[in-house]
Amino acid sequence: MPSDSAVRIVWIYPDLLSTYGDQGNVLILEQRARRRGIPVETVHVRSADPVPDSGDIYLIGGGEDRPQILAAERLRRDGGLARAIDRGAALLAVCAGYQIMGSTFGGEEGQPVAGIGLLDIESTRGPARAVGELAAEVDTGLGGHILSGFENHMGVTRLGPGVRPLSRTIVGTGNGDGTEGCHAGKIVGTYLHGPALARNHWLADVFLGWVTGPLAPLDDAWHERLRAERLKAVLPA
């Protein structure tokens, strides 16, 4: 059982949704907490198992259409994630996981599939696959940073009034309307792999800060090198 002082991280359905190194998001959170002396307890919840509602930070990754549909059905039936969010837990949802958090998303034939309704978004299948590097300017509510990552999806996502865009795209497609991702309360949705938190360590600290309060600074030289290399490759000189 988790002790009261540990940050409890829950990685949802690694057997269905974990493409392009999304599990690295878990590792980055663990590492950035531990480097500050903050204990962490991580649970990997496979899709046959119940999602505990006692976590602090939940993560869910991307995947192909069929596993995405299965994951949505199981999460809805399970109810644990929705209860955790009601309690005030934080969630990072990537790509297929991001679409699942909305009201509907497009299945493998473009048919509408019900999501679990934790975010006021709606996704459909777009005209072309969005694939490649993405850079975007982050909404100031979460800090004035450039988001860096890799996208590969067919979905386009329309944001409702209950969410704010996470960022405005500079390079890449994101939601398909000039914005990338969204946030509402302590939920962040994004199309970005990379993994996202290795590329955007400041975002990992947003999540940890929501749980623990103000954080001690870290030496971020390796993250900065990775970001500089990726952004140089995509941003106009």
Which of 24, 55, 63, 102 forms a contact with ligand GLN (CB under 6 A)?
Answer: 63
155 in contact with ligand GLN (CB under 6 A): yes
> For the chain, how many helices (H) and strands (E)?
7, 11
Q: Which stretch binds ligand GLN (CB under 6 A): 2-10, 85-93, 153-161, 213-221?
A: 153-161
Catalytic residue selected from 95, 145, 183, 223? 95
Is residue 75 within 8 A of residue 45, CB to CB? The reply is no
Does 153 qualify as catalytic in the annotation?
no
Smallest distance from the beta carbon of 108 to ligand GLN, in angstroms?
8
Pick from 2, 14, 15, 19 the residue near ligand GLN by CB under 6 A. Answer: 19
CA–CA distance, 103 with 113 (Å, rounded to integer): 8
The residue annotated as part of the active site, out of 153, 183, 193, 201, is 193
Residue 129 annotated in ligand binding = yes
Mark whether 182 is an active-site residue. Answer: no
Nearer to ligand GLN, 64 or 229 (CB): 64
Can you tell me the distance from the alpha carbon of 122 to that of 24, in angstroms, rounded to the nearest whole number? 27
For the chain, strand residue ranges (E) read 7-12, 40-45, 57-60, 90-94, 104-106, 112-114, 121-138, 146-159, 164-171, 179-184, 187-190
Residues forming the site for ligand GLN (CB under 6 A): 19, 62-65, 68, 95-96, 152-155
Give catalytic residues, as residue numbers: 95, 193
Binding residues for substrate: 129
